[in-house]
Amino acid sequence: MVSRTIPVDTFDLVIFGGTGDLARRKILPGLYRRYAAGQMPEAARIIGSARSEIDADGFRAMTREALAEFLPSSRGESETVDGFLKHLDYAQVDVKGDAGWEELKGKLRDGAVRAFYFSVAPSLFGDIAERLKTRGLAHDESRIVVEKPFGHDLATAKALNASLSTYFTEHQIYRIDHYLGKETVQNLMAIRFANLLFEPLWNAQFVDHVQITVAETVGVGGRGSYYDQSGAMRDMVQNHLMQLLCLIAMEPPARFEPDSVRDEKLKVIRALDPVPLADVVRGQYEANGSGKSYLEDAENPRSLTESFIAMKVRISNWRWQGTPFYLRTGKRMRARMSEIVIRFKETPHSIFGPEAGSKSNELTIRLQPNEGIDLRVTIKEPGPGGMRLVDVPLDMTFADALGPDAEEVPEAYERLIMDVIRGNQTLFMRGDEVEAAWAWTDPIIKGWEDAHQRPEPYDSGSAGPEKALELMHRDGRRWREVRA
Ligand code: BG6
């Protein structure tokens, strides 16, 4: 859907790490798409900044190549690209030293919104924050944008928050979790809070359990050294799956405003029970066909890091007491599939008798690909032979329902970056939220580290280790099949 938000004011967006992978893959293509949609003011400026010895023309040439590589081929018409590149500038800066800062400062304009995107290793966040402030590049209304990983555990997240808050207030800090920028993730809130239908049933009295699956087909090849220090728990659960869980489980916020929404998410995280080791299954993919094993991809033959995790999570509050949330995510799985399943309980009594069969409703929210929702309802099987019940889908694929506009779903990053410029923090994580998520995650990780637990091997291209299926079976439940 083409965004219909109002154009923003004049802004200077500085991207530290402007020649890096994230800038080339996501940030610059995202900005280009906003430009192409007419959402960028004439006076907007994007200033790449890195150690690379290039000038503004070199940065534009690199950006042109990145757009050609990372935008779908139907996009990136050359005239529009030329127009976009005119907004780009570059400053070579040594973020740990003195060089380049004065030049960068000279490029910033009075009266423009200033945003600084830290697309660099977290170990550099403090150095950049300090120089921005002490050298007068950032003022009280300037914004900084930081990427995950936001810490490795609670202690490092606290240290990062402390170092940023020495120079910037919370309302200036935009912590990105790109899942919150996904159109379908925002749709979770619309489905829950713009429809009367679901909310009265959205609690432990009516919901048997919730499943959240983020399955990927990619492995960790190419980023094995980062990933091996992190694993699925830190890379995906502590942030992306946790955000999904919060949006499903939170109480209705009073308003769709930053602190209203973030206060409710924080309450969910704080209500999560500790997870015993018996409720966690960790896996590591094995080689299959041409694909390498996790151990080969990570270049660490002794690695105990998980590329898959499944867990049963309980939320101790009135709404969810007794309704488990099952989370699952992994690399090199059978299909790329992210979805949330809300499984309702069976009717309290069947007037049709046991021979009719009993069914329960299921709401599936497909986040990617093939975004849409599917509500399974029970009807009478057509034809003679008495009352036999059958389960059928009320399936709505957004692309079909919304027409051609739906093909233009904005990328997570373009939405989020423009929110930074507009000064809207609703879809960004607050410092206390990140810390609460680590406070819950740390003891779980410690549990398996103390036990020197080895991850279960699973075949690449499968649904993960057998034990993950057992995690559900032992409760008399089943995962939705991982399928394309
Ligand atoms: C990133 C993780 O945050 O999210 C990656 O570091 C993962 O490991 C990616 O592949 C998944 O994002 P998406 O948008 O492809 O679902």
Q: What is the DSSP string of 334-371?
A: SS-EEEEEEEEEEPSS-TT-GGG---EEEEEEEEESS-
Reported as a pLDDT band with limits 50, 70 and 90, residue 404 is low
Q: Which helix (H) or strand (E) holds 261?
A: helix 258-270
Whole-number pLDDT of residue 380: 87
CA of 178 to the centre of ligand 1 (A): 8
CA-nearest of 174, 158, 74 to 425 is 174
pLDDT greater than 70 at residue 76: no
φ and ψ at residue 439, rounded to 5 degrees: -60, -30
Task: Give the mean model confidence (pLDDT) for residues 175-179.
Answer: 94
State percent of the chain over pLDDT 70: 96
Reported as a pLDDT band with limits 50, 70 and 90, residue 325 is very high
State percent of the chain over pLDDT 90: 76
Whole-number pLDDT of residue 483: 87
Task: Give the mean model confidence (pLDDT) for residues 217-229.
Answer: 90
Whole-number pLDDT of residue 386: 81
pLDDT digits (tens, 9 = 90+) for 295-315: 999 999 999 999 999 999 999
Q: Specify the higher pLDDT residue, 273 or 9.
A: 273
235 ligand 1 Cβ < 6 A: yes
CA-nearest of 155, 111, 200 to 445 is 155
Per the DSSP assignment, residues forming a β-bridge with 395 are: 374
Q: Specify the higher pLDDT residue, 115 or 149.
A: 115
Give dist(CA 81, CA 93) in Å, integer: 26
Whole-number pLDDT of residue 60: 96
Query: What residue has token string 């809130």?
Result: 189
Task: Give the mean model confidence (pLDDT) for residues 105-118.
Answer: 94
Sheet holding 88-92, edge to edge: 88-92, 45-50, 11-16, 113-118, 143-146, 173-175
Whole-number pLDDT of residue 142: 95
Whole-number pLDDT of residue 406: 57
Whole-number pLDDT of residue 2: 34
Whole-number pLDDT of residue 251: 97
Q: Which two tokens stand for residue 60?
A: 């534009």
Which numbered atom of ligand 1 lies nearest the CA of 182? 14
Give dist(CA 475, CA 443) in Å, integer: 24
CA-nearest of 4, 85, 93 to 45 is 85
Q: Which two tokens stand for residue 435?
A: 């810390």
Whole-number pLDDT of residue 350: 85
pLDDT digits (tens, 9 = 90+) for 441-459: 999 999 999 999 999 999 9
Reported as a pLDDT band with limits 50, 70 and 90, residue 389 is confident
433 ligand 1 Cβ < 6 A: no
Taking CB atoms within 8 Å and a gap of at least 24, the contacts of 20-23 are 20/50, 20/119, 20/120, 22/119, 22/147, 23/48, 23/66, 23/119
Whole-number pLDDT of residue 408: 66
Residues with a catalytic annotation lie at: 240
183 ligand 1 Cβ < 6 A: no
Instruction: Please name the residues in contact with 338: beta carbons below 8 A apart, sequence gap of 6 or more.
Output: 213, 214, 215, 366, 367, 368
* Closest Cα to atom 2 of ligand 1: 235
Whole-number pLDDT of residue 155: 97
pTM (predicted TM-score): 0.93
* Closest Cα to atom 15 of ligand 1: 216
Whole-number pLDDT of residue 352: 86
CA of 331 to the centre of ligand 1 (A): 10
pLDDT greater than 90 at residue 351: no
- Transcribe 94-110 into DSSP letters: -TTSSTTHHHHHHHPPT
Whole-number pLDDT of residue 79: 83
Which numbered atom of ligand 1 lies nearest the CA of 338? 16
Q: Specify the higher pLDDT residue, 111 or 460.
A: 460
Q: In this structure, are strands 280-286 and 456-459 parallel, antiparallel, or unpaired? A: parallel
Ligand 1 pocket mutation, candidates 235, 285, 308, 409, criterion most atoms within 8 A of CB? 235
Reported as a pLDDT band with limits 50, 70 and 90, residue 5 is very low
pLDDT greater than 50 at residue 429: yes
* Closest Cα to atom 14 of ligand 1: 179
Instruction: Please name the residues in contact with 118: beta carbons below 8 A apart, sequence gap of 6 or more.
Output: 16, 17, 124, 125, 128, 144, 145, 146, 147
Query: What residue has token string 């690379």?
Result: 52
pLDDT digits (tens, 9 = 90+) for 248-299: 999 999 999 999 999 999 999 999 999 999 999 999 999 987 789 999 999 9
Whole-number pLDDT of residue 382: 86
Write down the mean pLDDT value for the chain.
91
Whole-number pLDDT of residue 243: 96
Task: Give the mean model confidence (pLDDT) for residues 93-99.
Answer: 93
Reported as a pLDDT band with limits 50, 70 and 90, residue 399 is confident
228 ligand 1 Cβ < 6 A: no
Q: Which two tokens stand for residue 55?
A: 């000038």
Helices (H), 10-124: 21-22, 28-36, 56-70, 78-85, 101-107
Q: Could you give the angle at which helices 78-85 and 28-36 cross, rounded to 10 degrees?
A: 110
Ligand 1 pocket mutation, candidates 216, 227, 338, 411, criterion most atoms within 8 A of CB? 216
Q: Specify the higher pLDDT residue, 355 or 84.
A: 84
CA of 418 to the centre of ligand 1 (A): 20
pLDDT greater than 90 at residue 345: yes
pLDDT digits (tens, 9 = 90+) for 16-74: 999 999 999 999 999 999 999 888 888 999 999 999 999 999 999 999 999 999 887 65
* Closest Cα to atom 13 of ligand 1: 179
Whole-number pLDDT of residue 381: 86
Query: What residue has token string 């580290």?
Result: 449
CA-nearest of 343, 409, 408, 394 to 186 is 409
Reported as a pLDDT band with limits 50, 70 and 90, residue 7 is very low
Whole-number pLDDT of residue 19: 95
Q: Which helix (H) or strand (E) holds 231?
A: helix 231-232
Whole-number pLDDT of residue 22: 92
